[in-house]
A and B are shown apart, each in its own frame.
Chain A
Amino acid sequence: MPLTAAMPTADLAHDEPRPYLWTMNFGPQHPATHTTIRLVLKLDGERVVDAMPDIGYLHSGFEKLGEHLDYNQYVTVTDRMNYVSPMANNVAWHLAVEKLLGIEVPPRCRYLRVIVCELSRITDHLLCLGAMGLDTGAFTHFIYAFNPREWICDVFEALCGARFTNSYTRVGGLMYDATPKAVAMIRDFLGRIPKPLADMDRLLGRNRIFRDRTEGVGVLTREEAIRRSCSGPVARASGVTRDLRRDDPYLGYEDFDFDVCCATAGDCFARYMVRMAEMRESIKIIRQAVENLPAGPVNVGDDARVILPKKEAVFRTIEGLITHFELVMGNRGFEVPCEEVYCATEAPNGELGFYVVGDGTSRAYRARCRPPSFIHLALFPHLIRGHMLSDVVAVLGSLNVIAAELDR
């Protein structure tokens, strides 16, 4: 295949000729794009006339892989999609698979999944807000945000042994049950997290420089947010009061008392404030879930025929060995209906949905991921038009675009 310069100019070409405009290449290796995204900016002096995102630098064919890995194996790939909050992706994938298979997970598993989802919401928002501060010149804020992320990584390590790419869920349950030590660590985390959040609030919430750079920048109205398919904090900052945890409850979110955080301004600062407020709501949810954590099994029973037996059983008993064999062999596996489902969760960035098509085998026929970052980066040209070059990083930071999820 020849390597030609695929300069994406179609968006810019139909403008009338304005020879004084500059074309600037922002990225793909710019530190403020966080990962590899290229933006072709058309500048009039320092004012951005048009922007043209060019994505695909991290395209790794995850959806194609989903058709070749079985339902449990693919969870390791979902870790790599939004690697800032891998737990949320694990839960989203296995919820979709369980919906296809018609499995209802036990209450303890639901509560533990809620806890890890909300912890990953906090990690995601901490990274987004910290990096947004960093991009707009507040380096200290970034360090304040990254410190508590470390505590959450420690909790994840105690839960499943991995800090970053967790792969914690399994079809019909979790890899491991939470140990008392892990629960104690979550309690300890809940006691410690309010202070750094208050510090972050005091550092940036009323910071003149930060507010000047974010208020009124990248305004998204409610109508545009709906027309452009936004979801999550980006839509809620524009006044779309839609939160799947409340509106389409999954995992028993209706048991918890929490508020849906919204703003009406729709600018970068509103998105910052919504994310800030959501972390406090997440803490509320985790506290309720930890205090009411049900006892009992964490996986569905043997009747569902989806849970792999424990390794001791596989190595020491014939029943365990045969069960393992039956579930792992390519021509055996789960009983999957020839059907398709769409299942969505409220991931930190917005609606993360999986459209799973089953064909009777133990591999998905199609594993479509609806990535929120992809939809939100499509907003970028709309948000940045007419603003200054220095606002590019503020807008990009407030959208929290994760390129690995964007390209998949």
Chain B
Amino acid sequence: MTEPETIAALKRRFPDLTVSEFRGQTRVVAPPESIHDVLTELKEHLGFDLLIDVTCVDYLNYRGAKDRFGLVYVLTGTETNRRIIVRTFVNDPEPTVPTAVDLWEGANWLEREVWDLFGIRFAGHPDLRRIVLPEPFAAHPLRKDYPLQGRGERHNFPVITRAES
């Protein structure tokens, strides 16, 4: 199946997809309700069996952006070696998308990272905890409204002296 056939097959099943291309990369934008079905279809029938990356972009100050968060799934096929980028947009409050862990176990930590740094919930994730930041951390620091120098987390961190330890 070639690239246009894949897109055509996907468009038949999901008519409300937006397809774009930039520098030879095909990008598909799906609404958050159907993102799980799109990923399932790509994995099961269109040969994109390897999940490369799950990440997020916060479009808070981005020129012309209508939605706050853009979630990015990078898929590739181990047989065809073609890539496709699937994106979906979610908004405050409580940005939530269905998890992809049931399709790829590899999404587990990637989604935990997105939750940790962006605060996007993945409904149905088996173990949605913070991964790189400590559990009591209050913010999601890769959001654009979080300053580079932090909000005093380090400043307020209690210093344990040798006598107390």
In A346-380, which residues have CB < 8 Å from any B CB? Answer: 351, 353, 355, 357, 359-360, 365-366, 368, 370, 374-375, 377-378
In B74-97, which residues have CB < 8 Å from any A CB? Answer: 74, 78, 81, 83, 85
CB distance from B103 to the nearest CB of A (A): 9
Select which of A65, A67, A353 is within 8 A of B53 by beta carbon.
A353
CB distance from B27 to the nearest CB of A (A): 8
By beta carbon, the residue of chain A nearest B113 is A374
Q: Are B142 and A338 in contact (CB under 8 A)?
A: no
A351 to B66, CA, bound (A): 32
Q: How many residues of B contact A (CB 8 A)?
A: 48
Q: A338-B64, A341-B23, A360-B63 are in contact. Are A2 and B52 (CB under 8 A)?
A: no
CB distance from B112 to the nearest CB of A (A): 9
Q: Are B136 and A4 in contact (CB under 8 A)?
A: yes
Q: Cβ of A11 < 8 Å from any Cβ of B?
A: yes
By beta carbon, the residue of chain A nearest B160 is A3
Q: Cβ of A330 < 8 Å from any Cβ of B?
A: no
Across the interface, which residues of B come within 8 angstroms of A3, CB to CB? Answer: 136, 157-158, 160
CB distance from B88 to the nearest CB of A (A): 14
By beta carbon, the residue of chain A nearest B137 is A1
Across the interface, which residues of B come within 8 angstroms of A224, CB to CB? Answer: 105
Across the interface, which residues of B come within 8 angstroms of A8, CB to CB? Answer: 129, 135
A2 to B134, CA, bound (A): 11
Interface string of B90-115 (1 = CB under 8 A from A): 00000000000000111111100100
Q: Are B81 and A247 in contact (CB under 8 A)?
A: yes
A2 to B156, CA, bound (A): 8
Q: Are A375 and B106 in contact (CB under 8 A)?
A: yes
Q: Cβ of B132 < 8 Å from any Cβ of A?
A: yes
Select which of B64, B81, B109, B157 is within 8 A of A378 by beta carbon.
B109
Q: Are A228 and B74 in contact (CB under 8 A)?
A: no
Q: Are B57 and A340 in contact (CB under 8 A)?
A: yes
Q: Are A353 and B62 in contact (CB under 8 A)?
A: no
A-B contact pairs, 28 of them (CB 8 A): A1-B136, A1-B138, A4-B135, A8-B129, A10-B129, A11-B127, A55-B132, A59-B133, A61-B141, A226-B49, A226-B78, A227-B104, A229-B110, A231-B52, A240-B78, A340-B22, A341-B23, A351-B52, A353-B52, A353-B53, A355-B74, A359-B62, A365-B57, A368-B72, A370-B74, A374-B110, A378-B106, A378-B109
Counting from the closest, the 5 A-B pairs by CB-CB distance are A229-B106, A56-B132, A6-B135, A247-B81, A378-B109
Q: List residues of B whose CB falls within 8 A of some A CB.
A: 22-23, 25, 49-53, 55, 57-58, 62-64, 72, 74, 78, 81, 83, 85, 104-110, 113, 117, 127, 129-138, 141-142, 148, 153, 156-158, 160
Known pairs A68-B148, A342-B72 / 12 extra A-B pairs, C-beta < 8 Å: A6-B134, A10-B129, A59-B132, A226-B78, A228-B104, A228-B105, A228-B106, A247-B81, A338-B63, A351-B52, A377-B109, A378-B108
